[in-house]
Amino acid sequence: MSSAGLKLQFEHMNNCLNISNLTVHLHGRRILSNVSLAVNRGEFAVVLGDNGAGKTTLLRSILGLIPATSGIIGLFGQQASWRNRRALRRRIGYVPQTLAFDETMPVSVRDVIAIGRCARAGLGHRLNSNDWALVDRAAHDAGIFHLLARPIGQLSGGERQKVQIARAMCQQPDLLLLDEFSSHLSTTARQDCLQLLERLHLQERFAVLMITHHASAVPANCQRTIVLAGGQKQFDGDRHDWQAMRKGGQP
Amino acid sequence: MMALLHEEYFRHAMAACVFGGGSIAIIGVFLTLMQIPFLGICMSHAAFLGAIIGLLAGQSPLVWAMIACAVAGLAVGPVAEKAQASSNVVLSIIFSATMGISLILMAKIPGPKTDALNLMWGSLLTVTGGQVWILAGVFLGLTIFLSLFYKEIVAALFNRELAAACGIPEAPIYYGIILLGAMTVGASLDMIGGLLIFALLVNPANTACQLSFRLPVILILAAIFGIGACFAGLLASYIWDIPTGGSVVLISSGMYLLAFLLSPRVRRNRPKVENHASTHSN
């Protein structure tokens, strides 16, 4: 481990996520430029920014789905690398904006939620009764218990996002990453999902990093706002300070 | 009819129906759900090329068919990734290239091309004891793989990126399925033939998909339909003296037509979803 990695491990034990000078290029274009941020355990932070600001790239880099050009990503006191990537991912719940899958896929809602238990159970091990109890509990908490036997392709957009939240919850994450998870939903479905998220965060106390371009789509228990523009961090601080700045006409 | 069971060649053919028909149908379900059924065509033609190479080299066509099939199957993903092209584009190129090379190499085979042509049409009645053992081995491998990694397979089939994001080793699972598919297609080449094996990959799987929404049920039904089509095709071939490859494929197509006409049509009657926002990711 590099000295920077050791420093990361010992100085920020309270951090779930600690990003230092992250730069990411995609297809020869710089998407993120020297972004640094940290999210503490149990904290709820939102990343705001217009389309193309680099929000999704930030989340995908944290998960290791996109390689970083430079910089360090620290997760749960460890420097993320290809060696520990899978182990770290098991502690992260991820809810993407939308999920591409075959609508006729013969998998039930229960099967999809159970994906959250797969990595935790281990390769080649069947899910045990405790895993299935967690699947049922996550479905119950998300209010979709009655849908468990339904094929996933038969659900509405709002129901599908609740399934994704339940799947992430079932993973018992220490950090939840939400990528514009409510942007394609109707106003009612969006409110429903945000209330669910708010309740689950209060109940489970995991850290949340949620990205959105709708300042209105931020739950009340979000304390912190990070603003990205053009791949650079423009603001990082208390949510109310950001709102006050905006009202004062500052960027 | 019972007298046939005392004939060794017929017993071999029946065993090949169970192991080959079952394996091809199960692999077909995966290729269908992975939305790469064209990989079946590509692998069957690669297997044909491998078998021709085997014939020219005076070695086992079956072993060479399995090797060529595996190379073609495993090359698709990385080549498509590097070339930033769709898998179907890469499959088309590999398919046409293997077919072109096969035709050229066929011309180089001295004397009558009977063996090579047999590989094109296939025949259940000429399957040997050794081939049955190989088919049984592939079937066993497939069954073990399925029972050990079923939950990871479901995750990878549903969405590979999501599976990766959850910490599931989706790439080994995905390529494991492709490798087992290659083994199955290569080992079954003699039975059905390079030109028609694709139909046995697609028909039983899609027949089963017409009848159920549950993956375990679909896998079992597909295996039953695959084995059933092979048995029925074998009998039809024996009774009417017609090529087995063609009869097996026609029967499996008939099964699909029947399932299409008689199925509860669960898909068509399902309630319409109110939001179709799931099909595109950013």
* B6-50 pLDDT tens trace: 788 888 888 989 999 999 999 999 988 888 777 888 888 888 888
| Residues ≥6 apart with Cβ < 8 Å to A123 | B149, B152, B169
Contact (CB, 8 A) for B177 and B34: yes
CB atoms within 10 A of CB B89: 12
Closest CB from A114, A115, A151 relative to B163: A115
Q: List pLDDT tens digits, range B128-167.
A: 888 899 999 999 999 999 999 999 999 999 999 999 999 9
In degrees rounded to 5, what are phi and psi of residue B202?
Answer: -90, -45
Better-scored residue on pLDDT, A24 or B107: A24
Q: Which segments in chain A show pLDDT lower than 70? A: 1-13, 248-251
Amino acid identity, position A203: Q
Provide DSSP, A102-121. Answer: -TT---BHHHHHHHHHHHHH
Better-scored residue on pLDDT, B110 or A224: A224
Closest CB from B148, B150, B167 relative to A86: B167
User: Taken in order A92, A98, A104, A108, is the CA torsion positive or negative?
Assistant: positive
Strand order in the sheet with A207-212: A92-95, A175-179, A207-212, A44-48, A224-229, A232-238
- pLDDT score, position A190: 79
Q: Which domains does chain B have, with CATH numbers?
A: 7-106+117-261 (1.10.3470.10)
Closest CA to A122 of B149, B215, B173: B149
Cβ separation B169–A112 shorter than 8 A: no
Shortest alpha-carbon distance between residue A105 and chain B (Å):
7
CB atoms within 10 A of CB B238: 17
pTM for the model stands at 0.83
Of the residues B82, B153, B157, B166, the best mutation for testing chain A's interface (the one with the most A CB atoms within 10 Å of its CB) is: B166
Closest Cα in chain B to A61? B165
Tell whether B220 is within 8 A of chain A (Cβ): no
SS3 content of chain B, % helix, strand, coil (to 5): 80, 0, 20
| Residues ≥6 apart with Cβ < 8 Å to B179 | B70, B73, B74
Distance CA(B16)–CA(B35), nearest Å, equals 27
- pLDDT score, position A10: 41
In degrees to the nearest 10, what's the CA dihedral of B142, B147, B151, B157? 20
What's the whole-number mean pLDDT along residues B176-188?
88
Shortest alpha-carbon distance between residue B56 and chain A (Å):
42
Tokens 């290569």 belong to: B186
- pLDDT score, position B84: 64
What is the three-class DSSP state of B53? helix
B2: region left, alpha or beta (phi > 0 left; psi from -120 to 50 alpha):
alpha
Contact (CB, 8 A) for A69 and A205: no
pLDDT at B278 over 60: no
B132: region left, alpha or beta (phi > 0 left; psi from -120 to 50 alpha):
alpha
**Within 13 A of B188's CA, how many CA atoms are on the CB side?**
38
ipTM of the complex: 0.86
Cβ separation A157–B278 shorter than 8 A: yes
- pLDDT score, position A60: 93
Distance CA(A62)–CA(A72), nearest Å, equals 10
Contact (CB, 8 A) for A183 and A48: no
Shortest alpha-carbon distance between residue B159 and chain A (Å):
6
Contact (CB, 8 A) for A217 and A198: no
